[in-house]
Amino acid sequence: MPRLDDEPLLPLTQFLGDADRHWLSIGCRTLGCQRTVKMGFRRAVRLAAGMRTEDWLARLRCTACGNRNATLTVCADSRNPDAIARDGFLLVTRQE
Ligand SMILES: [Zn+2]
């Protein structure tokens, strides 16, 4: 039986089904930096290459300050269905 500690806190692949309407905001927690980038789930899954989310996050290096101190937030497209149908999915969610 897998231990709870073996499960990633945020399994990236579980979001692939909703990847058109969700993305990650990946931020640097270094005091005074706080650089943030947006990343679609398809790209995140590809870059994580099977790593647990926490392990992948620990490897990310901030391009502004050079530290490895990232955090992530799941973001959702809150536009109504008519707006999405009219304007299409957001660019960030279309990243491959
Ligand atoms: Zn930084």
- Report yes or no: 59 and 52 within 8 Å, Cβ to Cβ: no
Q: Report the separation in Å between the CA atom of 91 and the middle of ligand 1, taken as the mean of its atom positions.
A: 24
pLDDT tens, residue order, the chain (96 aa) = 555 556 667 889 999 999 999 999 999 999 999 899 999 999 999 999 999 999 999 999 999 999 998 999 999 999 999 999 999 999 999 888
Give the predicted TM-score (pTM) of the model.
0.84
Q: Report the separation in Å between the CA atom of 83 and the middle of ligand 1, taken as the mean of its atom positions.
A: 34
Q: Report the separation in Å between the CA atom of 68 and the middle of ligand 1, taken as the mean of its atom positions.
A: 8
* Cα separation values, 15 from 56, 61, 87, Å: 16, 23, 22
Q: Report the separation in Å between the CA atom of 57 and the middle of ligand 1, taken as the mean of its atom positions.
A: 13
Contacts of 24 by beta carbon, 8 Å cutoff, 6+ apart: 38, 39, 40, 41, 44, 72, 73, 74, 75
Q: Report the separation in Å between the CA atom of 56 and the middle of ligand 1, taken as the mean of its atom positions.
A: 16
Q: Report the separation in Å between the CA atom of 67 and the middle of ligand 1, taken as the mean of its atom positions.
A: 6
